[in-house]
Amino acid sequence: MKQKLINSILILGVLWTGLISACKDEALDVIPRDRLSDANVWADQGTADLFLNDIYNSLPNGNNWDDPFENYSDNSMCGYGWTPSRNLERESTYTPSSYPGETLIIYWDTNYSYIRRCNLFISNVTASELPDDYKSTRIAEARLLRAYFYHILWMSYGGVPLITDPLNRTEQGDEIFHPRSTAAETANFVIDECAAAASDLPINNDAGRATKGAALTLEGWVELYYASALYNPENDLSRWEKASQTNQQVMDLGIYSLHPDYGALFLPEGNTSKEGIFFRQYFAKLNGGRETGYMSTPFTKNGAHTSYGAINPTQELVDDYAMDNGKPITDPTSGYDPQHPYLNREKRFYESIVYDGSYWYNDTIYTRLGVNSLNELDVSDAGDGTNTGYNLRKRMNPNIPLGADNWEGATSNQNYYYFRYAEVLLNYAEAKNEASGPDASVYAAINAVRQRNPDDPYLPPLSNNLTQTEMRTAIRRERRVELCFEDKRRWDIMRWKAAEDLYKQFHAMQIKKTGNTLNYTIIDAPDGKRKFAAKNYVFPIPQQVLDQNAVIRSQNGGPDNWVNGQNPGY
């Protein structure tokens, strides 16, 4: 039952009314309405676990987003035009009063409400008379969850206030208002918290709960981000080396391995895979398919409207899939034919993308123009048809019963991965390559991802004579393809400071039939133009935070060049 409790909304039915109200707390609404009045709750492991399980339930709910975070990158566009990713993100028109709203994972107030719950749990369990072994493990879990929420804030805003105690405005008054810590201080706080949690977490835990591997993986990811160009303009190689060492620790645990079937990994049958390190579980439900109902191909047989098409993969992403011989399509010896662009591509392409002529949900999908298909390229951006000529296959379950109640009304069954082993290998390869060049361990890590299944390799190994720059290009392409539609791409673009080069014009594939010949032409995607300003590598501090917190408003200059507590340029 413990495995099921973590993400079950049934948890809320057994919590006190005060605990339910915690879900609605604002960041600075610190009157402890969610402090359980019955002190005995902290004397019982079961009821304490209910509180902690509710914090787990606050982790990103990526199977239920109607505008997935992937759409804030160059990998995809949302299929309908009213969303923030098609408006605020497209124009980079973020302001302190206008930025992605409460449903997005970056939202300041909700992340701080989750952090406050972590602080409450840690404080109360520490002071309790619960067994020491319970305290050690569960407090380490809460510290890792708190670090996770802080790392989202850090990637989003740079330095943020670091609060580790439950605040009480009635008792503390204005002392509850904390200043922003610098970006460096925030990064190091998260890194230290992960290391501390890792020392107390078990290697194996109930499925969905934090483990030593999860803590080390988050630590290694934050170290990689901190070593990248955004926060390491002088390219301090020791940061890259530290990131490689932490990711090596995860590899050395010896308990994770790559799932042999990439496509199946993201379906319910992959939920028990040894590739998963940290993930959100969902209650198994035979007909659950809300994720597919939001994100997949809009129409299937007989014009049934089965999805809203929230993710339209871009031509830019499609072009980064290699040929099955392992060569990029830009290599003149690859065999790529622009008039037969979907022939002989690597296996992950076929497991991730619905393209013209492919088979999906018992139907052949046509995105070409003029065949009276509701899925054809929507050049006028008028309906749910794809804006790029592509729809999403990866993570979409083709085995659920057709029908609105199944596709829209029930949460999908498969795990949503925060971290999996392939990312650790890619993190290690990138960090080690930047620290000291493409040695044998770098090749071993990236080739493991490329091959995945030793009995049926996905791609041939890389050439063994790459320069550091060539290896960097190979690793970045591999990350994009391997981790696509897992809401990772935007963070990579930000940390590499690559947005000015990549956020310009997204493209689509237009296919017209003349006689018996299909003609393929890459065109500008409808509503595919993008802008980006240098200030947008971090989001603005929300105006309500500045209005409430005079301590932050007094912060100017410093290593992060704040102006009245705000990030530069806003």
Query: Would you place residue 273 in the very low, low, confident or very high pLDDT band (cuts 50, 70, 90)?
Result: very high
Looking at every residue in the chain, the average pLDDT score rounds to 90
pLDDT at 412 (0 to 100): 78
Looking at 231-240, 242-251, 363-372, which range is the least confident one?
363-372
Q: Mean of the pLDDT values across residues 213-234? A: 98
Beta-sheet pairing, 76-77 with 312-313: antiparallel
pLDDT tens, 307-328?
Answer: 899 999 999 999 999 999 999 9
Query: Would you place residue 286 in the very low, low, confident or very high pLDDT band (cuts 50, 70, 90)?
Result: low
Tell me how far apart the alpha carbons of residues 109 and 112 are, in angstroms, rounded to a whole number.
Answer: 5
CA dihedral for 100, 101, 103, 105, sign (positive or negative): positive
- Check if the beta carbon of residue 307 is closer than 8 Å to that of residue 293: yes
Burial letters for 351-383: b for 16+ Cβ neighbours within 10 Å, e otherwise? bbbbbbebebbebebbbbeeeebbbbbbbebee
CATH number attached to the domain at 1-57+106-201+544-570: 1.25.40.890
DSSP secondary structure letter of residue 201: S
**Statement: residue 126 has pLDDT above 90:** yes
pLDDT at 5 (0 to 100): 35
Tell me how far apart the alpha carbons of residues 431 and 41 are, in angstroms, rounded to a whole number.
Answer: 45
pLDDT tens, 159-212?
Answer: 999 999 987 767 766 677 899 999 999 999 999 999 999 999 999 999 889 999
Amino acid identity for residue 362 in this structure? N
- Check if the beta carbon of residue 450 is closer than 8 Å to that of residue 460: yes
More confident residue, 285 or 536: 536
Query: Would you place residue 12 in the very low, low, confident or very high pLDDT band (cuts 50, 70, 90)?
Result: very low
Tell me how far apart the alpha carbons of residues 494 and 393 are, in angstroms, rounded to a whole number.
Answer: 26
CA-wise closest residue to 315 among 513, 520, 62, 492 = 520
Q: Which CATH number fits domain 236-279+417-497: 2.40.50.140, 2.60.40.10, 1.25.40.900, 3.90.1200.10?
A: 1.25.40.900
User: DSSP per residue over 380-432, as a string?
Assistant: T--SSS-SSS-EE-TT--TTSPPSHHHHHSS--SS-EEEEEHHHHHHHHHHHH
Percent over 90 (pLDDT), the chain: 76
Tell me how far apart the alpha carbons of residues 472 and 462 are, in angstroms, rounded to a whole number.
Answer: 12
**Statement: residue 63 has pLDDT above 60:** yes
Query: Would you place residue 81 in the very low, low, confident or very high pLDDT band (cuts 50, 70, 90)?
Result: confident
Tell me how far apart the alpha carbons of residues 438 and 468 are, in angstroms, rounded to a whole number.
Answer: 6
Token pair recorded at residue 249: 């620790």
Burial letters for 150-164: b for 16+ Cβ neighbours within 10 Å, e otherwise? bbbbbbbbbbbbbbe
More confident residue, 146 or 3: 146
pLDDT at 407 (0 to 100): 61
pLDDT at 3 (0 to 100): 38
CA-wise closest residue to 509 among 374, 422, 379 = 379
Beta bridge partners of 391: 354
Token pair recorded at residue 382: 């008028």
pLDDT at 25 (0 to 100): 38
Q: Mean of the pLDDT values across residues 261-268? A: 96
Domain locations along the chain: 1-57+106-201+544-570, 62-101+283-413+503-539, 236-279+417-497
Number of H helices and number of E strands within the chain? 22, 10
Decide if 1-57+106-201+544-570 and 236-279+417-497 have a common fold. yes
Q: Mean of the pLDDT values across residues 539-557? A: 96
More confident residue, 102 or 96: 96
pLDDT tens, 467-499?
Answer: 999 999 999 999 999 999 999 999 999 999 999
**Statement: residue 22 has pLDDT above 80:** no
pLDDT tens, 418-435?
Answer: 999 999 999 999 999 999
pLDDT at 6 (0 to 100): 37
Tell me how far apart the alpha carbons of residues 84 and 69 are, in angstroms, rounded to a whole number.
Answer: 10
